[in-house]
Amino acid sequence: MGDTERIYRIQDLEISERPRERLAQYGPGALSDAELIAILLRVGVQGENAVQVGQRLLSAFGGLTGLHRASYEEVCHQHGLGLAKAAQLKAAIEIGNRLAQRRLSEEDRPAFHSPKDVADFVQYEMCVLDQEQLRVMLLDTRNRLEKMITLYQGSLNSSSVRVGELFKEAIRRNSAAILLIHNHPSGDPSPSPEDIAMTRAAVQAGKLLDVEVLDHIVIGRGRHVSLKEKGLGF
């Protein structure tokens, strides 16, 4: 085997540059996205080591978010992957998704103190949805999460969303406040006039029902917008 071929093997990298060794020494946070994918793939293909395959996948799908969004079949069709490696990647992504959205114990319920707190909690899952979803977070007096429910899916506008439904579960559970969250599949979180109208109607209803609407947050791809921070509907 010539020198030109040898550079395509992970084992021919310096030990300090190998993904698994770097993870062991510095922790997973020190690795690039491509290196993390390389650890899952274990081996590359002719002409590419596993890190280079990871880089190619990220380029093909537009980063980790695109890889998360891609179907199993789309991943399978990438050169050098096949059924087993595609399954490993999608399984790892789903583990991350479930971890981000895991059911929390009473002692471990998150408290939300800023729009970023809320966005960080749901971004991983909601930024890759291919349809709009409207979710309601029910909060206690300390802004800790009691429950999150999905009320609507599809094309959302102020006429299709029944304002009373936003508060139904909050009233049943005697929640102190709610947060509204929905995503824009386009990736642009800029609020539409319908988003603002729905927010205004919810805020007014909340005052009558004594359930505060803390915010309405729109999730995009890697970005979010707080309608309360923007003074839209509040």
Answer with the one of 100, 120, 155 that is the final residue of a domain: 100
The amino acid at residue 230 is: K
* 40 and 130 both lie in a single domain: no
* φ/ψ (deg, to 5) at 34: -65, -35
C-alpha 1/C-alpha 31 separation (Å) is: 29
pLDDT in tens, 170-199: 999 999 999 999 999 999 999 999 999 999
The pTM score is: 0.65
Residue 183 CB coordination number (10 Å): 27
Task: Measure the CA–CA gap between 127 and 224, rounded to whole angstroms.
Answer: 9
> Domain ends where: 100, 119, 151?
100
Residue 66's domain is classified under what CATH number? 1.10.150
- Please indicate, yes or no, whether residues 20 and 49 belong to a single structural domain of this protein: yes
Q: Among all chains, which residue has been given the structure tokens 């471990």?
A: 108
* Domain co-membership, 124 together with 199: yes
Q: How confident is the model at residue 29 (pLDDT cuts 50, 70, 90)?
A: confident
The average confidence (pLDDT) of the chain is 85
3-state secondary structure of 177: strand
Q: Sorting pLDDT into bands at 50, 70 and 90, what band is 109?
A: confident
Residue 177 near residue 211 (C-beta atoms within 8 A):
yes
The tokens of 187 are what?
Answer: 């990736």
Compute the distance between CA of residue 230 and CA of residue 10 in angstroms, rounded to an integer: 49
Q: Tell me the two tokens of residue 96.
A: 């991350």
Size of the chain in residues: 234
User: What are 115-162's pLDDT values in tens digits?
Assistant: 999 999 998 889 888 889 999 999 999 999 999 999 988 876 655 788
Same domain, 110 and 224: yes
Of the listed ranges 60-74, 96-110, 172-186, 208-222, the least confidently predicted one is 96-110
54: alpha, beta or left? (left if phi > 0; alpha if psi -120 to 50) = alpha
Distance CA 111, CA 122 (A): 13
Q: List alpha helices for the chain, DSSP H.
A: 3-6, 19-26, 33-41, 50-61, 63-69, 72-76, 82-100, 115-126, 163-173, 193-209, 227-230
CA pair distance 217, 182, nearest whole angstrom: 7
131 with 220, same domain: the answer is yes
Domain housing 191:
106-230
Place of tokens 């102020």: 158
Beta strand pairing call for 177-183 and 145-153: unpaired
**Strand ranges across the sheet with 145-153:** 145-153, 133-139, 177-183, 212-219, 224-226
- Domain final residue pick, 42, 66, 100: 100
* Same domain flag for 224 and 113: yes
Same domain? For 34 and 83 the reply is yes
Residues 110 and 214 reside in one and the same domain? yes
High-pLDDT (> 90) share of the chain, %? 48
- pLDDT score for 48: 86
Q: Total structural domains in the chain?
A: 2
Domain co-membership, 123 together with 205: yes
Residues 90 and 191 in one domain: no
Looking at the structure, tell me whether residues 74 and 110 fall in a common domain: no
Burial of 151 (0-12, 13-18, 19+ CB in 10 A): middle
What does the pLDDT read at residue 180? 97
Query: What does the pLDDT read at residue 12?
Result: 55
Domain check: are 110 and 225 in the same one?
yes
CATH code where residue 123 lies: 3.40.140.10
